[in-house]
Structure 1
């Protein structure tokens, strides 16, 4: 196996000079760097990451943690998060992905193991994890949930504003009997989206009906079950705001199973804008929450922190956008 010492001997330089060339150091002459890289290419040399980690005292690992991967995290949400992070983090780093609820304690999470951590936070339950990471002096970026009273980089979207716009649109279309299928219990996004729903109703002086607020769990099964519950009411709603897209898909299937039509009989609006929502029948009108963009920004910030570029405490909001498709109709 080819080593740095072999390359140094062929290039007639020290192994330190070879290491600098491989790390694109400005402390080496361009001509020397070119010569070394040509030899590296000819010999098909691959750096030993473990040895490099020991030498640099870096693990070259970025942790991506979710509140839970198995409970309340839809497949599309998970994929968009990983895609966003992975598009920024280069091949020099390993991406380690886990759910916080996989851990009995956090003793295995320490600085020598993680150069930085990105947390896709969905619940206040995560606060113990946040405190542990900060105590370990591991660079941390928190996505998706606003974290109060912490000096951290926090990137999130206006969920409340987005859901308020969605319900305002339903009201503009003539709907007054508007239900909500809520998100997973304990998730901050569930609360924010419900608050936006209520805010729109209050603004337009529409009575709030408890039977129109049904629990879901951010998956298709709970959306289907919640919609069945709404359809069993004496006066079913004419429109339903679903707190995420997977539940909207489940709700649409429940409506068709009862011999009804979307949007002719009941209008549906979702949240998140997953890729498949434009291909359902009908395609789903939704609030686009750009999880991929939020994750990309988070990855950019954590790399700057890991590479010792100073990043100040900040809160970044990524705007939501209402996407008009075919699942909402005018109420006649």
Structure 2
């Protein structure tokens, strides 16, 4: 139960602070939001009064005074198939670590909307998009038309002059493939990701580049299409194990599929990495605890989303031009699932 004093403190408003400070409530609001138009000595005095009165910010009241919603939308292409729980967790953690108490964060899937009319300046001060496919461009264009500050993460949006923050998936896949080649593997298969996800396209490009530079052939029957889920890794690996000339290594385009593939290998009476090597992508929390520990590419999603959150705040507050592409490098994590031959 809250004490009477605590209940009183919860009801303190900017008008109460204004009355004690002898200034207008608009001046109080601007002081508490670091507006440069308020004199430093006035701002300091107001902040001290607010602290003494145990003032708790009210986003609804602030929005009425400053014509802001104090809401940032965090939109994913989808919250359904293709967005793993670990990816989602890292993205939300990264954004929240920067936004903190400054704004409220609303999390949605773009595919939940049939009508984008509710996406407007009245409801959102800014929007972060964790984009995985080109179909999101319709939503992104709507946001731009409504002049809402936006940062698109995880995918480069060609032809749209906005801020993009993304992991260099192509380079990460290139490094993973080079590692397999250096380990002596030539018969390398892939289990790709969802066809319409740009991350899958970029990883395939990185794979092809490494194979081409090493003058190694890409075998068509080794190129299988997964969907980033455990089951697709499991069943696609089963297909590969039926090949008369089996691959010696399989590059799965995410860790979930790699874990499914490892299970398929063991169920079929083979061993990883003795009979077949497996490498993943993402470096999810499970990858280091599976047996054998999974060699994978660390994709710094949390860091990417921290960078995106910093930039959306800068754009909202007028400290950023709102254009540019910023890459964050992936990093190969060598563990136990690849054998040197």
Cα 1:158/1:19, change in 2 over 3 Å? closer
Give 2:305's match in structure 1, choosing from 295, 308, 312: 295
The separation in 2 between residues aligned to 1:56 and 1:81, in whole angstroms, is 29
SS in 1 for 2:234: helix
Give the count of matched residue pairs. Answer: 330
**Match for residue 129 of structure 2?**
119
Is the CA contact 2:281–2:297 (under 8 Å) kept in the aligned structure 1? Answer: yes
Aligned twin of 1:98? 108
Query: d(CA) in 1 for partners of 2:58 and 2:90?
Result: 31
Instruction: Please identify runs of 4+ aligned residues in structure 1 that moved more than 4 A.
Output: 32-35
User: Residue 58 of structure 1 aligns with which residue?
Assistant: 68
Counterparts of 2:191 and 2:231 in 1: how far apart (Å)?
12
Contact map agreement 1:301 1:311 (CA 8 A) in 2: no
Once the two structures are superposed, the pairs formed by residues 71-86 of structure 1 within 5 Å of their partners are 71-86=81-96
Q: In 1, Cα distance between the equivalents of 2:327 and 2:20?
A: 53
Q: SS in structure 1 opposite 2:281? A: strand
Counterpart of 1:257 in structure 2 is: 267
Change in 2 beyond 3 A, CA 1:29/1:303? closer
TM-score normalised by length of structure 1: 0.94
SS of the residue aligned with 1:78? Answer: helix
Confirm or deny that 1:238 pairs with 2:238: no
How far does residue 312 in structure 1 lie from its aligned partner after superposition? 4.6
User: How many angstroms does 1:29 deviate by?
Assistant: 5.0
Contact 2:86 2:284 in 1 (8 A): yes
User: Are the equivalent residues in 2 in contact too, given 1:88–1:299 (CA < 8 A)?
Assistant: yes
Deviation of residue 167 (structure 1)?
1.2
Measured in 2, the distance between the counterparts of 1:119 and 1:167 equals 29
Determine the C-alpha separation between the residues in 1 that align with 2:322 and 2:143: 17
TM-score where L is the length of structure 2: 0.91
Distance 1:274 1:48, change over 3 A: same
Unpaired stretches in structure 1, ≥5 consecutive residues: none
Q: What secondary structure is seen at the aligned counterpart in 2 of 1:98?
A: strand
* 1:217 aligned residue: 227
Deviation at 1:201, TM superposition (A): 2.2
- Deviation at residue 20 of structure 1 after TM alignment: 3.7
Q: Output the CA distance in 2 between the equivalents of 1:12 and 1:111.
A: 33
Residues 315 and 322, structure 2, Cα contact 8 Å, conserved in 1:
no
Matched, 1:69 2:79: yes
User: Partner residue of 1:148?
Assistant: 158
Quote how far apart the aligned CAs of 1:6 are.
Answer: 2.6
1:8 corresponds to which residue?
A: 18
From 118, 124, 135, give the equivalent of 1:108.
118
Q: C-alpha displacement at 1:15, in angstroms?
A: 3.0
Q: Is the 8 A contact 2:110 2:139 kept in 1?
A: yes
1:29-86 superposed Cα distances (whole Å, 9 cap, x missing partner)? 53x5455444433433223211210111111111111111102111111111111111
Q: Identify unmatched segments of 5+ residues in structure 2.
A: 1-10
Alpha-carbon RMSD: 1.7
Cα drift, residue 322 of structure 1: 1.3
CA contact (8 A) 2:187 2:248 kept: yes
1:28 matched residue in structure 2? 39
Give 1:25 deviation, angstroms.
Answer: 4.2
Partner of 1:191: 201
